[in-house]
Amino acid sequence: MAMIDNAIYVDGRRVESSSTLSLDARRNCDLAWIGLLRPDPRELESVATEFDLHENAVEDAMKGHQRAKLERYGDTLFVVLRPAWYDADQGTVEFGEVHLFVGDRFVVSVRHADRPDLAALRARVEQDPEFLAKGSEAVTAAVLDEVVDGYAPVVEVLQDEIDEIEDQLFAGHVAADVSKRIYQLLSEVLAFQRATKPVPAMVKGLLRGADKYAVDEDVQHRLRDVMDHALRVTERIDSFRALLENALTLHSTLVSQEQNEAMRRMTSASLAQGEESRQLARAAHQQGEEVKKISSWAAILFAPGLIAGVYGMNFDHMPELHWRYGYPAAIVAMLALAGVLWVVFRKRNWL
């Protein structure tokens, strides 16, 4: 259903509502306010023909996905606003789109999302006939006020998210998913910045033309209030962007420090392991040297024992067994063989 509400007002009070407004009815009223939600091209073209809306503005309203802006086509003002809200289920900031065609005694509002609820806004404005009687500029100021006021809860949610990230960064332990959350928040803040940043300049433009188009003083006062709120929002969003960019830099630094510390620990462990390996090698080398010494002395002592063992068998027919110089010869042979072995092992550094 594209047509949400369609009414004319006299002295700030609703006097007629219908799906179409007759030309005579519009001529005799102070204000006609038509509200559309996701209209199809035929419906929007019908309204454009009825109110003589500029084709470029109608094309923008039909396509949607426009940046926030304020443009004037002859006597008709075309306003694009990007309302925002926080989706708690998804944990993300969502954006809508509102187009306003504002002319002499008429306002056409076109929405491409269910929020903000302009029907609820219309009901509140209708409770103040004195303000609504000030014409289409009053409706424009009320819609601007509604959209800008809707930014405040989003700002508070983003502030809480950034505070939580800062607490995690300074807690001494950097969680693995912090960088991902920082990127997500930074993306949302940038989108929020694009939605809000043009608003103060748009309101200033309306105020600059206030005298030329005889805008009521009460409407101007409300526009100034909207501009103050919009400026506070944009300033906080700018600070959020700076904080998140700094948080991203800090997170990268902390991650690098943790990686460097891990590398230092690994290097220290490797060095300790290398030292242990060197100590084991030295111990093995010393053990080998001891084995060589023991083996050398065993061989030296084995040679005399072999000779003594042979001549200790006491067979009758052994050579030199009854020789007068047999004993001295055997002793000399033992010492000589042991000496030769000692020299050989010494030259090979076994002893």
The CATH number of whichever domain residue 222 belongs to comes to 3.30.460.20
Tell me which of 241 and 322 has the higher pLDDT. Answer: 241
Tell me which of 110 and 288 has the higher pLDDT. Answer: 110
Residue 254 lies in a domain: yes
pLDDT score, position 5: 79
pLDDT of residue 17 exceeding 90: no
Residue 226, helix vs strand vs coil: helix
119-158 pLDDT per residue, tens: 889 999 999 999 999 989 999 999 999 999 999 999 999 9
Residue among 146, 162, 154, 161 at smallest CA distance from 85: 154
| % of the chain beyond a pLDDT of 90 | 36
Number of domains in the chain: 1
Residue 106 lies in a domain: yes
CA–CA distance, 17 with 10 (Å, rounded to integer):
12
Contacts of 151 (CB under 8 A, 6+ apart): 84, 192, 196, 229, 230, 233
pLDDT score, position 1: 46
11: left (phi over 0), alpha (psi -120 to 50) or beta: left
187-209 pLDDT per residue, tens: 999 999 999 999 999 999 999 98
pLDDT of residue 308 exceeding 90: no
Residue 292 lies in a domain: no
Do 144 and 111 form a contact (C-beta atoms < 8 A)?
A: no
Confidence of residue 160 (pLDDT cuts 50, 70, 90): very high
Residue 328 lies in a domain: no
Residue 224 lies in a domain: yes
Residue type, 114: D
In Å, how far from its chain's centre is CA 141?
36
Residue 272 lies in a domain: no
Do 17 and 7 form a contact (C-beta atoms < 8 A)?
A: yes
Beta bridge partners of 6: 34
320-338 pLDDT per residue, tens: 666 666 677 777 777 777 7
Tokens of 228: 């103050």
pLDDT of residue 311 exceeding 50: yes
Do 200 and 231 form a contact (C-beta atoms < 8 A)?
A: yes
Residue type, 219: V
Tell me which residue range forms the domain holding 145: 3-260
Contacts of 185 (CB under 8 A, 6+ apart): 158, 161, 162, 165, 244
Residue 210 lies in a domain: yes
The terminus-to-terminus CA distance of the chain in angstroms comes to 107
Top-ranked range on mean pLDDT: pick from 93-102, 203-212, 255-264, 285-294? 93-102
pLDDT score, position 230: 96
pLDDT of residue 37 exceeding 80: yes
Residue 330 lies in a domain: no
What is the phi/psi pair of residue 31, to 5°? -155, 135
Residue type, 97: E
pLDDT score, position 312: 65
Residue type, 61: A
Tell me which of 149 and 41 has the higher pLDDT. Answer: 149
Q: How far is CA 156 from CA 87, 190, 250, in A?
A: 13, 16, 23
